[in-house]
């Protein structure tokens, strides 16, 4: 019996500790982060858990092994910056499009 318990402890010790790299607004966003991290060779999991700060509300977290946390932060922040830029560009194009229609006399 003691041999078996040593093996269990050894295999548990080898499992990486996952820590939160991002909180997602919904499961779709969490899956996008997970896919982005995995495409950059960073192991990631999505976990839905009770939020200790509020009653009964669940939070969706994206988690990575501790040794990948710095790289994961860079990847996630880069994607957020890209998304913000894309949103800003789309809004400018939409407003320009409307003004062009008003300027033309038919």
- Would residue 8 count as lying in a domain? no
- Helices (DSSP H) in the chain: which residue ranges? 2-14, 27-39, 69-103
- Would residue 3 count as lying in a domain? no
Global pTM? 0.62
Which residue range(s) make up the domain with 48?
16-103
Asked whether 96 and 62 are in contact (CB, 8 A), the reply is no
Residue 54, token pair as written in the block: 């509020």
- Would residue 2 count as lying in a domain? no
- Would residue 32 count as lying in a domain? yes
- Would residue 97 count as lying in a domain? yes
- Would residue 52 count as lying in a domain? yes
Which is more confidently placed, 94 or 51? 51
Cα 58 to Cα 77: distance, rounded to the nearest angstrom: 23
Work out how many domains the chain is built from and give that number: 1
User: What CATH number did the domain enclosing 40 receive?
Assistant: 3.30.70.1530
Residue 93, token pair as written in the block: 């194009």
**Other CB atoms within 10 Å distance of the CB of residue 61:** 20
Q: What is the mean pLDDT of the segment spanning 64-88?
A: 82
Is residue 37 pLDDT above 70, yes or no?
A: yes
- Would residue 1 count as lying in a domain? no
Q: List, for residues 9-25, the tens digit of each pLDDT value.
A: 554 556 679 999 999 98
- Would residue 6 count as lying in a domain? no
């Amino acid at each position: 019996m003691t041999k078996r318990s040593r093996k269990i402890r050894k295999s548990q010790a080898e499992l990486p500790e996952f820590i939160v790299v991002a909180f997602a607004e919904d499961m779709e966003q969490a899956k996008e982060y997970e896919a982005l991290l995995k495409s950059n060779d960073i192991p990631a999991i999505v976990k839905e858990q009770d939020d200790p700060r509020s009653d009964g509300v669940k939070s969706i977290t994206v988690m990575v092994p501790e040794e990948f946390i710095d790289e994961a932060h860079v990847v996630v922040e880069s994607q957020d910056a890209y998304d913000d830029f894309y949103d800003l560009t789309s809004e400018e194009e939409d407003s320009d499009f409307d003004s062009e229609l008003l300027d033309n006399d038919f």
